[in-house]
Amino acid sequence: MTIDLNCDLGEGFGVWPMGNDAAMLDLATSVNIACGFHAGDADTMKKTVDLAKARGVSIGAHPGYRDLHGFGRRPILGLTSSEIENLVAYQIGALQAIATMAGHRVTHVKAHGALSNAACEDDMTARAIASAIRAVDPDLVFVVLANSRLVAAGEAFGLPMVHEVFADRAYEDDGSLVSRAKSGAVLHDADAIAQRVVKMIQSEEIISISGKAIRMRMDTVCIHGDTPGAVDIARVLCKALRENDIAIAPFKTAK
């Protein structure tokens, strides 16, 4: 049994750091790098890419809404399909340029925050993201929230996909993530998270906040780099996975 461990990184800006990217890169097998819209900038992107390359970790673009003040976690309403396609393509291209300069390669794309949340429920947004990825490079892997509208969009555009679940987030009964505005949406107890993820992988089910079991495909598990204690959570999780004969390795793709 094998699982990829991914983390959202490069989310500082200018002189303001966010999380411990170097430590997380010693634990993750793939990372998603902010591309300047919700967080990150050219220097932060380059530093993160360099760190990932030195550790042999695959990198992906992590495009979000243009919302530095809200960290990309506030919805932006009224965007057209072409506007969403353009903002996603723009951000993928920015990371591709930085990666090329660093001698590394972008392998996947994972939507961030409110953009991802919207796409999980709205076909137009999901298809716009998938369309942008295919237009830039149809070989880029689309990281999708399991059981969401993103899956159908990825299938419609013929993209290679990996299905993602979250270590540090609670789920609603419909399989969506609990809103960060609600108590209990973000999990912090490293031991409890580790036990939860091991059970999720072994059973191929997530347990919602009310206790409902929901069947899900799981190719990769995410820990948010900005979650307090993220490095400790990742270390405890890695230990628990290995103790339960679950290997940690880069994801394999499937269309």
The pLDDT tens digits of the residues spanning 74-121 come to 999 999 999 999 999 999 999 999 999 999 999 999 999 999 999 999
Between the two ends of the chain, the Cα-to-Cα distance in Å is: 20
Q: In the chain, where does DSSP find H-type helix? A: 21-25, 42-55, 81-102, 113-121, 123-136, 149-156, 190-203, 230-243
Q: Of 6-15, 177-186, 245-254, where does mean pLDDT reach its minimum?
A: 245-254
Q: What tens digit of pLDDT does each residue of 165-199 get?
A: 999 999 999 999 999 999 999 999 999 999 999 99
Exposed (0-12), middle (13-18) or buried (19+): which is 242, by Cβ within 10 Å? exposed
Q: Which residues contact 3 (CB under 8 A, 6 or more apart)?
A: 201, 218, 219, 220, 221, 241, 246, 247, 248, 249
Report residue 253's pLDDT band, with 50, 70 and 90 as the boundaries: low
pLDDT tens per residue across span 113-156: 999 999 999 999 999 999 999 999 999 999 999 899 999 999 99
- Residues of the chain with pLDDT > 70, as a percent, come to 99
In which band, very low, low, confident or very high, does the pLDDT at 255 lie, cut at 50, 70 and 90? very low
In the predicted model, is pLDDT for residue 252 greater than 90?
no
CATH number listed for the domain at residues 2-248:
3.20.20.370
Tell whether the model's pLDDT for residue 204 goes beyond 70.
yes
Please give the pLDDT value at position 52.
97
- Per DSSP bridges, beta strands 205-207 and 213-215 are antiparallel
